[in-house]
């Protein structure tokens, strides 16, 4: 776990990374910008990154990671008493964060998702990419090897599609080359052993969780929440398209909810456009906290 901040009084931004096993702690440049406004907590989950390098242990299931996250949150509340905690789930991490809120809503003050995974994400992404490649026979031929109904894809097929679709987009920062690889190579705190552990951890976590992810029931995602509910969505995300995110967002009932479309961004939109996080700070402080400084008032629109 790494903690970056300019003030202990800043709201905590607890980052739940995607993957499985795809830690975000290498995004130093973006984290420095976030840390001007928040206490940013990057957590390499069990089976991910530097945690996996220290101990070759993988999660038994998704619930293992949910419980780890809740335990970590409780420790943060002891170290930073009376400081609001914003839970940020990204990509597959948006599933974990979603489940964490359902099991420990009283621990958090605001829920944020980026690249929110939904029941329709893969289908919209597949249909979108198939339409865009109709004049590119080789790419179209590869896509048509996948089942037309993306709801029946395996985790392996999902992983293959995600990598393929990310490479196809040239109008947004590439998730693999521009974001992950570039940041790992430029981060002074990332050794070659850490880079190796990142790759090994992703493989190990995939083997541990792929069957559960294959069968995940997206009806388990929350549809009602008692705190502000916020989604940041890359306008040109090839993996979790805006149409699917919008459909899920419309279903959620919350006292305050906001959907921010991030222009010029694909997957991992806040790492590609970190200045957009200022919108989150404005939303946090637009809500008056109670006498303890923790819980936003529920009657704000």
* pLDDT given for residue 169 in this prediction: 64
What are residue 41's DSSP bridge partners? 3, 14
Better pLDDT: 269 or 288:
269
Residue 140 has pLDDT above 80, yes or no: no
Residue 42 has pLDDT above 60, yes or no: yes
Place of tokens 């170290």: 79
Residue 127 binned pLDDT confidence (cut-offs 50, 70, 90): confident
* pLDDT given for residue 135 in this prediction: 60
The model carries a pTM of 0.85
* pLDDT given for residue 138 in this prediction: 60
Instruction: Return the axis-axis angle of helices 242-251 and 121-132, rounded to nearest 10°.
Output: 150
Residue 30 binned pLDDT confidence (cut-offs 50, 70, 90): confident
Residue 160 has pLDDT above 90, yes or no: no
Residue 134 has pLDDT above 80, yes or no: no
Residue 291 has pLDDT above 50, yes or no: no
Domains defined along the chain, listed by start: 2-286 (3.40.50.1820)
Please state, for a pLDDT cut of 90, what percent of the chain lies above it: 42
Residue 232 binned pLDDT confidence (cut-offs 50, 70, 90): very high
Specify the range with the lowest mean pLDDT, choosing from 29-33, 98-102, 227-231, 243-247: 29-33
Strand, coil or helix: what is 137? helix
CA distance 94 to 17: 8
What integer is the mean pLDDT of 234-251?
88
- Please provide the average confidence, as pLDDT, over all residues in the chain: 85
Residue 265 has pLDDT above 80, yes or no: yes
What integer is the mean pLDDT of 211-233?
90
Residue 119 has pLDDT above 90, yes or no: no
Q: Which residues contact 24 (CB under 8 A, 6 or more apart)?
A: 15, 17, 18, 42, 90, 271
Q: How many CB atoms lie within 10 A of CB 250?
A: 9
What integer is the mean pLDDT of 180-205?
89
Please write the tens of the pLDDT for every residue from 55-80.
999 999 999 999 999 999 999 999 99
Q: Which residues contact 83 (CB under 8 A, 6 or more apart)?
A: 8, 9, 10, 11, 12, 39, 293, 294
Better pLDDT: 258 or 29:
258
What integer is the mean pLDDT of 280-297?
53
């Amino acid at each position: 776990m790494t903690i970056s901040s300019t003030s202990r009084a800043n709201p905590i931004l607890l980052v739940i990374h995607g993957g499985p096993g795809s830690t975000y702690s290498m995004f130093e440049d973006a984290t420095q910008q976030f840390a001007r406004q928040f206490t940013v907590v990057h957590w390499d989950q069990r089976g991910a990154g530097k945690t996996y390098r220290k101990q070759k242990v993988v999660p038994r299931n998704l619930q293992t990671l949910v419980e780890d996250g809740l335990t970590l949150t409780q420790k943060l509340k002891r170290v930073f008493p009376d400081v609001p905690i914003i839970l940020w789930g990204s990509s597959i991490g948006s599933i974990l964060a979603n489940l964490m809120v359902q099991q420990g809503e009283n621990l958090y003050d605001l829920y944020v998702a980026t690249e929110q995974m939904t029941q329709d994400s893969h289908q919209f992404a597949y249909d979108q990419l198939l339409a865009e490649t109709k004049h590119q026979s080789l790419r179209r031929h590869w896509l048509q090897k996948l089942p037309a109904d993306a709801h029946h894809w395996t985790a392996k097929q999902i992983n293959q599609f995600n990598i393929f679709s990310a490479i196809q987009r040239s109008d947004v920062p590439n998730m693999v080359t521009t974001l992950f690889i570039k940041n790992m190579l430029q981060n002074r705190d990332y050794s070659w052993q850490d880079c190796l552990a990142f790759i090994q951890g992703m493989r190990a976590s995939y083997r541990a969780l792929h069957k559960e992810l294959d069968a995940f029931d997206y009806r388990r995602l929350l549809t009602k929440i008692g705190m502000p509910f916020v989604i940041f969505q890359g306008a040109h995300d090839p993996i979790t398209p805006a149409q699917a995110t919008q459909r899920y967002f419309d279903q959620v009932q919350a006292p305050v909810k906001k959907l921010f479309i991030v222009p010029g961004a694909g997957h991992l939109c806040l790492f590609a456009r970190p200045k957009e996080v200022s919108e989150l700070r404005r939303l946090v402080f637009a809500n008056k906290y109670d006498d303890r400084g923790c819980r936003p008032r529920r009657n704000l629109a």
